[in-house]
Amino acid sequence: MEIFYEGNHLIIHSDADKRIVFSYDSGKVRINDYVVSHPGEYEKAGILLEVKEYDGELFYNFIIGSKRIAIVTADSFEIKEEILSFFGDIDVLIIVWSKESVKVFENIEAKVVIPYWEWKDLFLNALWQHKEELDIYKVQWEFDLNNTEFVNLGLKIEG
């Protein structure tokens, strides 16, 4: 599985040639050609997805193969057990940038963290993570269970 930017979208490309497209401008997700825009449970192209609305924002939790991927689209919500239990044990956490996102990250245990948006460096710097930008992140089969890996994907903005 690979994660990379394509224009104004973050792409999760699975090994089985399935694509999840996250438009970080609108906060919407598309699985292949299917647009996910409401809370609920979905199964599309072999990908399990649960979408939860909390404090007016949509949060996404995917299962692709044996990996759990979550997309956090907001940083200014009240952290309660209700939303934390939704995330559970996350392998890859894709999270909106900001210093406020740090408190969200600290409450969600993830093995890999990928902040997104133009000022994602604020998030990484707040956590003392000065990572070189990558064009593509290839998700590993095995993760280091003792450490969280931070990924700095190079953002390519169109227009």
3-state secondary structure of 91: strand
**Do 79 and 101 meet the contact criterion of CB atoms below 8 Å apart?**
no
pLDDT tens by residue, 67-125: 888 988 877 777 778 777 787 788 898 887 666 666 777 778 788 888 776 656 665 66
pLDDT one-digit tens code per residue, 28-46: 898 888 888 889 998 887 8
Q: Are 9 and 159 in contact (CB under 8 A)?
A: no
The domain segmentation of the chain, as residue ranges, is 2-150
2-150 has CATH 3.60.15.10 classification: yes
Statement: the pTM of the whole predicted model exceeds 0.75 = yes
Q: Which residues share a beta bridge with 159?
A: none
Contact 72, 59 (CB under 8 A): yes
